[in-house]
Homo-oligomer: A and B are copies of this chain.
Amino acid sequence: MLLHTLYLVAIVAEAMTAALAAGRRSMDWVGVCLLGAVTALGGGSVRDVLFGHHPLSWVSHPEYLVITAGAALMTIAVARIMHRLRSVFLVLDAIGLVVFTVIGCNVALDLGLPTVDVIVSGMITGCVGGVLRDVLCNDVPLLFRSELYASVSVVAGGLYVGGLSAGLPHDLVTAGAMAAGLVLRLLAIVRGWNMPKFVYAEDLH
A-side residues, CB < 8 A to B, are 19-20, 22-32, 34-35, 45, 49-52, 54-56, 59, 62-63, 65-66, 76, 79-80, 82-83, 86, 113-117, 120, 131, 135-141, 143-146, 149-151, 194-205
Contacts and interface: CB of A to CB of B under 8 A. Distances in A.
A27 B138 contact: no
Contacts of A200: 20, 22-24, 79
Given A83-B205, A197-B28, A56 B62 contact: no
25 contacts: A22-B200, A24-B200, A24-B201, A25-B140, A26-B199, A27-B197, A27-B198, A28-B144, A28-B145, A28-B197, A29-B195, A30-B143, A31-B143, A45-B50, A50-B56, A50-B59, A51-B59, A52-B52, A52-B55, A59-B113, A66-B116, A79-B198, A83-B202, A83-B205, A138-B138
Given A79-B198, A136-B135, A198-B32, A24 B150 contact: no
Copies of this protein, total: 3
Contacts of A56: 50-51
Contacts of A52: 52, 54-55
A156 to B, nearest CB: 14
Which 4 pairs, one residue from A and one from B, show the smallest C-beta to C-beta distance? A23-B200, A31-B144, A62-B116, A52-B54
Contacts of A120: 62, 65
Contacts of A34: 143-144, 150
Nearest to A64: B116
**Counting chain B CB atoms within 10 Å of each CB, which of A51, A195, A202 scores highest?**
A202
Contacts of A80: 202
A159 B97 CA distance: 38
